[in-house]
Structure 1
Amino acid sequence: MKRITSVLIAATIGLFAPIQNAQAAAEFNLRFAHFWPPQAGMSQQFKAWGDAVEKDSNGRIKVEMYPSQTLAKAPKIYDAVVSSIADVGATVQGYTANRFPLSQVIELPGIAESGALGSCVFQTLLDQGDIADEYSETHPLFVFTHGPGMIHTKGTAVKTPEDLKGLLIRRPTAVVADLLTGLGSQPVGMPAPQIYQSMSRGVIDGATLPWEGVKSFRLNELADNHTDINLYTLAFVVTMNKGTYESMPADLRQVIDKNSGLAWAVKTGQLMDEQDKVGLAQAKELGHTITTIEGGVENPAWKGVLEQATENYLSQNGATARSIYEKIPALSKNCRN
């Protein structure tokens, strides 16, 4: 993990090196839209990004946070950035189906065992140009993933794929929907902020989320069974309105550039990992049933179905998607070094 550690150190040092301009009133007020609740760890991470931008610009850029879908609903955040409703947005690529098929290769089973690693790999794919064309409508700042996405259910323990048959399980994206369908459940699409109400009303029997999401969206209050398997790692993007970025003078664009890329991707993935620990500890404290699938996605009861779902996705999305998938092991090795 030397590379991940080194970029985290670089990001920390960067926080204390603002550009040397005289203090002045804000020239740009950036509206930052996202869907996490204000108290969530991710909200604090985005605030830290805003604070860094404000400090590095000597106050010439101000960042106003709009959490909890207050500026745009989760599936509409990317388009809100495109249309200048928001200047910056953080969202899930797969909330708009078929728009980011190459980016969503990162969601396939077993790709990364942590948010920090997944984020390093994902950002490297963006930096190397493999997925850059999918973001041509905006100015992407960084991409990241959460840690392992798992299955969380109310009243039903899921130990084998057979236990999923007939269950209505929330899925975040079409990629995860295909995985769940192959395993025998009935996937129900919805963004994370809708899960609590849907489960409390019996609309769904469970949900797929990392432990971070279970904590952030209060699922430990409802789901009492958790199946620990690295089913997927969700793709996220923090992106900026292209016109807003291009209208800035060169020195302020440099501030944005400094607070973009690999360092912030890895820091955000690491925050996801830290929040995973908190969500898991909370479930244990509540006495929930946690089933760990031995061998994870390599477990014989799960492996065949998940491999087939992976092959189906790659076949549907062409040679470029397969090429990206095949280069991920080498990128993962590099990110660990």
Structure 2
Amino acid sequence: MKHAISRLLLATSALGLCASVGAQTTLRMAHLWPEGSAVNQEIYRAWAERVEQDSGGELKVEIYPSQTLSKADQAYDAAVNGIADIAVTLQGYTAGRFPLTEIVQLPGIVNSASQGACILQTLYDEGDIAGEYNDTRVLFLFTTGPAYLHTRDTEIRTPTDLEGLRIRRPSEVAGEMLASMGAQPLGMPAPDIFTSLQRGVMDGLSFPWEAMKVFRINELTKYHLQVPYYAGAIVATMSQASYERLSPEMQAVIDENSGMEWAQQAGRVFDALDEAGREEAVAQGDTIHVVEDPLNDPDWAEPLNQGTENYLERLEERGLDEARGIYEKAMGLREQCEA
């Protein structure tokens, strides 16, 4: 009898252990940043650890950096289709899919990543751009700091200096502005830039200082022009199907770790990296020029303002009559989000 009872207790214990293990849900997160980068460690790993802690271990987040689960330009669809449970990517990789979101990328809106994150998350929270993400469940949105122009061998001071240069463009809109100034825009995901620049496939690129450090591009460039004509919008989003498979309690954990708190955390990390990226270029002895007020600068104002107007007109032609109002709202949020 004792042996029978012991066997019963062991079986019951084993069943309980299996139930406990089975209850754990693993969420796969895909993004393009290197595993050892501060972006991965201080934003995505930190988010994963918070979710795991708040769920009492019921949720586990596996992170797939450096495009190991999905290519950067396919990451959003990976979340839509459930290939990834969570994806983080730049909206500029899927041209035309997030037209209202990309308004935040226009010149003169974003002065810092923290400010940009506040502006973009506010536009989402208040419903201005939320409709563009109906096919996933957005966790948080943020931006890079301002993207500048960086070149290997050519010093750039004015738009005419871009004539004929092969410059990596971060988005279609930014590419159009570069083309209007005589450059030859090239499209490619950020992780591919180092090799392309090293092999001479391109002459330069548009990047924030953060990315110059994270992707080691400072090693290959000597000249930098701080003309803030662009900022990259970024979304961290979840497969709707993956979210719906969670229990109400675990959905609440995800909801509590969504929104402005994490947008602002991402902004702070990118701001610190922007500062470190610039310091790295200074330490190398690189040449850095600064355009203080590009929208009123005698050389840069016309192409930048015209680029903005062209984009807004194109959205209006597509029937997005709210585009200009969202642009004005984004401009109006700048001061509030600087606080």
TM-score between both structures, scaled by the size of structure 2: 0.91
User: CA-to-partner distance for each residue in 1:57-87, whole Å, 9 max, x for gaps?
Assistant: 0100000010000001110111111111100
1:289 deviation in Å? Answer: 0.8
Tell me which residue corresponds to 1:20: none
Identity of aligned residues (%): 47
Q: Separation in 1 of the partners of 2:25 and 2:247?
A: 11
Tell me which residue corresponds to 1:37: 34
- Give the unaligned 5+ runs of structure 1: 1-23
SS at match of 2:299: helix
SS at match of 1:317: helix
Maintained 8 Å contact 1:182/1:306: no
User: CA-to-partner distance for each residue in 1:117-166, whole Å, 9 max, x for gaps?
Assistant: 01101000001111111111110111100111000100111011111011
Q: Separation in 1 of the partners of 2:278 and 2:128?
A: 34
Q: Separation in 2 of the partners of 1:97 and 1:148?
A: 19
Q: Separation in 2 of the partners of 1:296 and 1:267?
A: 28
SS at match of 1:158: coil
Q: Separation in 2 of the partners of 1:323 and 1:125?
A: 11
Q: Separation in 2 of the partners of 1:79 and 1:316?
A: 25
1:334 deviation in Å? Answer: 2.5
Q: Give the alignment partner of residue 270 of structure 1, picking from 268, 271, 281.
A: 268
Q: Give the alignment partner of residue 102 of structure 1, picking from 100, 103, 107.
A: 100
1:330 deviation in Å? Answer: 2.4
- One-letter amino acid of the structure 2 residue matched with residue 308 of structure 1: Q
1:179 deviation in Å? Answer: 1.5
Q: How does 1:213-292 map to 2 (within 5 A)?
A: 213-292=211-290
Q: Please give the root-mean-square deviation of Cα atoms over the aligned residues, in Å.
A: 1.3
Q: Separation in 1 of the partners of 2:219 and 2:336?
A: 39
Tell me which residue corresponds to 2:15: none
Tell me which residue corresponds to 1:335: 337
- One-letter amino acid of the structure 2 residue matched with residue 60 of structure 1: E
- One-letter amino acid of the structure 2 residue matched with residue 321 of structure 1: A
Q: Separation in 2 of the partners of 1:126 and 1:321?
A: 14
SS at match of 1:65: strand
Tell me which residue corresponds to 1:305: 303
Tell me which residue corresponds to 2:326: 324
Tell me which residue corresponds to 2:73: 75
Tell me which residue corresponds to 1:19: none
SS at match of 1:324: helix
Residue correspondences, number: 315
- Give the unaligned 5+ runs of structure 2: 1-19
Q: Separation in 2 of the partners of 1:30 and 1:60?
A: 11
Tell me which residue corresponds to 1:84: 82
User: CA-to-partner distance for each residue in 1:195-249, whole Å, 9 max, x for gaps?
Assistant: 1111111110001000000011110110111111111111110000001111211
Tell me which residue corresponds to 2:121: 123
- Closer/same/farther in 2, CA of residues 323 and 243 from structure 1, 3 Å limit: same
Q: Separation in 2 of the partners of 1:133 and 1:294?
A: 35
Tell me which residue corresponds to 2:182: 184
Q: Separation in 1 of the partners of 2:269 and 2:292?
A: 26
1:295 deviation in Å? Answer: 2.3
Tell me which residue corresponds to 1:202: 200
- Larger-Rg structure: 2
SS at match of 1:300: coil
